[in-house]
Amino acid sequence: MIVNGPISSGSYAIAGAGNPPGLLPAREQMALSLGWHIILACFGVAFPTMIYVVHRRGIRRNDPIALGLARRWSKVSAVLFAIGAVSGTILSFEMGLLWPGLMGRFGDVLGLPFALEGISFFVEAIFLGIYLYGWDRMPPRRHLAMLLPMGFAGIFGTFCVLSVNAWMNAPTGFRIAADGTVTDVNPWRAMFNDAVWLQFAHMWVGAFMLVGFVIAAVYAVGMLKGRRDEHHRMGFTVPFVFATVAALLQPLVGHILGLQTGDRQPAKLAAMELSLNTEPKAPLNVGGFLVDGHLRWALSIPRLGSIIARNSFTRSVPGLNDVPADQRPPANLVHWSFQSMVGIGTALALLVALFWLARWRKQDLLQRRLFLRLAVIAGPLAVIALEAGWVTTEVGRQPWVVWHILRTADAASPSPWLWLSYAVAFVVYVGMTIGAVVVLRSMARRWRAGEEDLATPYGPGAGPADDSAPSDSTSGYPAAGDDTATSTLR
């Protein structure tokens, strides 16, 4: 079905003529940095909770397999947190280097949650340090408790960062005077803006989805290769349970958030739905492209658009034609990333539902190679869904950086070095990705080879302390059945 609309070609491009030359590289660099960092941020938010579960089980039940998992995961998290911390540092520099027009004018409006997030970053970094070095050096229970502040800091930090992003979508807590200056600043109002709670919920659940599916996928690969021991089973199941809860919850959260978007940012919803004319009983356009102002190759399902996007049989879905031409986001990109996110999210929800349904019917899908293959694919798919979601909301907000207040073009740095800076950033990110993959893979390989303590190559002498910890019963952790050690160390 093809819908016609009087939209001239090119009006959806935002980096058009008249924009400062720094706009495109600044946006690209920011997108790269955020898109890269968000994956590690997810691990920072969700991984400590999962480690807590296996670590607690290991202590409570004297389960050496669970303890082994916790030990390995904590080493993996050390690598991920370290590079996550540097990519987080990159972002805080980039706020100023790339977007001085935003920070100079609105820094005191949006800055407070960042300052609070700094506290949670501190807490995470401090307790991560304690936790990593606490293996075999602290009484087990106190050691386990070191994960709790990390988990809470993750929640709080997510809220703070999402609060800034939500503020960009629903700016409040200030007034613009006649001469353009920002007055009457209320940073708490800006922080607790109308959009923050749902955006936070969406991202927080998303973090557990991503980490749950990615880690489960790692162990699914192992099982496909024939490593069907209890270690792999638990390594799969624990994150998969988290992913299950998250994947089933996420459609609901996302739906409510989408409803809000329609009220707050009609242009964004119009782009997400690829809706041209504001119409009641709007159809749902699956796929499709906007070409020269016409909707092509879309599968249009009558009335479903209003039902899904507006929760109503009759309420209209906003159309791009009602948005002034210079305020339209690039609709195709927004639409496709939105539908990728929704499509993948739905598929993942079905996958977890299938697994537990089969389990309820006394069937173990972990014995089926097809299911394991799907579980492997689910890892990268969860990453893509999260990235697609961010592309949707960020590109859908264009051409504004602060909705209807400040254009992205006016926020970008005029520096002539931005393309070079983007090129260097690109190389650095590629390098860090390769470095992380090489190191993580080699860790996995050495673990499989039975090398539990991953010694450092810098000899002679003992390696860095956290690597030379033994995994046997001489440590503070009891071997199975050894009760006396726990009681004396309590």
Footprint on residues 444-463 left by other proteins (CB under 8 A): 445-446, 454, 456-463
Q: Is 428 in the site for other proteins (CB under 8 A)?
A: yes
Which residues neighbour 285 within 8 Å (Cβ) at sequence distance 6 or greater?
A: 273, 274, 275, 295, 298, 299, 300, 305, 335
Distance CA 431, CA 424 (A): 10
The enclosing H or E element of 278 equals: none
Q: How far is CA 432 from the centre of its chain?
A: 18
**Residue 155: C-alpha distances to residues 90, 167, 169, 192, 195 (Å):** 21, 18, 21, 15, 17
| Interface with other proteins in residues 307-336 (CB under 8 A) | none
Q: Which of 90, 119, 114 is nearest to 32 (CA)?
A: 90
Question: What is the closest distance, in whole angstroms, from the C-beta atom of residue 291 to other proteins in the complex?
Answer: 39
Q: Is 114 in the site for other proteins (CB under 8 A)?
A: yes
If the CB atoms of residues 353 and 427 are measured against other proteins, the closer one turns out to be 427
**Pairing state between β 406-407 and 400-402:** antiparallel
| Interface with other proteins in residues 167-186 (CB under 8 A) | 174, 182, 185-186
Q: Is 159 in the site for other proteins (CB under 8 A)?
A: no
In this chain, which of 122, 297, 313, 426 binds other proteins, going by CB under 8 A? 122
Q: Is 143 in the site for other proteins (CB under 8 A)?
A: no
Give strand ranges (E) for 87-176: 175-176
Residue 176 phi/psi, 5° resolution? -105, 120
| Interface with other proteins in residues 381-420 (CB under 8 A) | 413-417
Q: Is 360 in the site for other proteins (CB under 8 A)?
A: no
Using CB under 8 A, which of the segments 242-250, 319-327, 348-356, 438-446 binds other proteins? 438-446
In this chain, which of 133, 356, 419, 447 binds other proteins, going by CB under 8 A? 133
Q: How many helices (H) and strands (E) does the chain have?
A: 15, 6
Distance CA 171, CA 189 (A): 10
If the CB atoms of residues 324 and 461 are measured against other proteins, the closer one turns out to be 461
**481: phi > 0 → left, psi -120 to 50 → alpha, else beta; which?**
left
| Interface with other proteins in residues 463-482 (CB under 8 A) | 463-470, 474-476
Using CB under 8 A, which of the segments 212-220, 268-276, 323-331, 441-449 binds other proteins? 441-449
Q: Is 130 in the site for other proteins (CB under 8 A)?
A: yes
Question: What is the closest distance, in whole angstroms, from the C-beta atom of residue 196 to other proteins in the complex?
Answer: 16
In this chain, which of 299, 430, 439, 480 binds other proteins, going by CB under 8 A? 439
Question: What is the closest distance, in whole angstroms, from the C-beta atom of residue 407 to other proteins in the complex?
Answer: 16
If the CB atoms of residues 134 and 222 are measured against other proteins, the closer one turns out to be 134
Q: Is 129 in the site for other proteins (CB under 8 A)?
A: yes
Q: Is 21 in the site for other proteins (CB under 8 A)?
A: no
Q: Which of 210, 301, 303 is nearest to 250 (CA)?
A: 210
Q: Is 218 in the site for other proteins (CB under 8 A)?
A: no
Tokens of 164: 């800034």
Q: Could you tell me which residues are beta bridge partners of residue 284?
A: 301
Residues that bind other proteins (rule: CB under 8 A) add up to a total of: 93
Distance CA 269, CA 320 (A): 9
Q: Is 19 in the site for other proteins (CB under 8 A)?
A: no
Tokens of 207: 């973090």
Q: Is 87 in the site for other proteins (CB under 8 A)?
A: yes
Q: Is 436 in the site for other proteins (CB under 8 A)?
A: yes
Please give the single-letter amino acid code of residue 253: V
Asked whether 412 and 20 are in contact (CB, 8 A), the reply is yes
Distance CA 85, CA 75 (A): 15
In this chain, which of 25, 58, 68, 88 binds other proteins, going by CB under 8 A? 88
Using CB under 8 A, which of the segments 206-214, 245-253, 386-394, 435-443 binds other proteins? 435-443
Question: What is the closest distance, in whole angstroms, from the C-beta atom of residue 91 to other proteins in the complex?
Answer: 9
Q: Is 116 in the site for other proteins (CB under 8 A)?
A: yes
| Interface with other proteins in residues 56-85 (CB under 8 A) | 75, 78-79, 81-83, 85
Q: Which of 123, 256, 116 is nearest to 191 (CA)?
A: 116
Tokens of 83: 């590079």
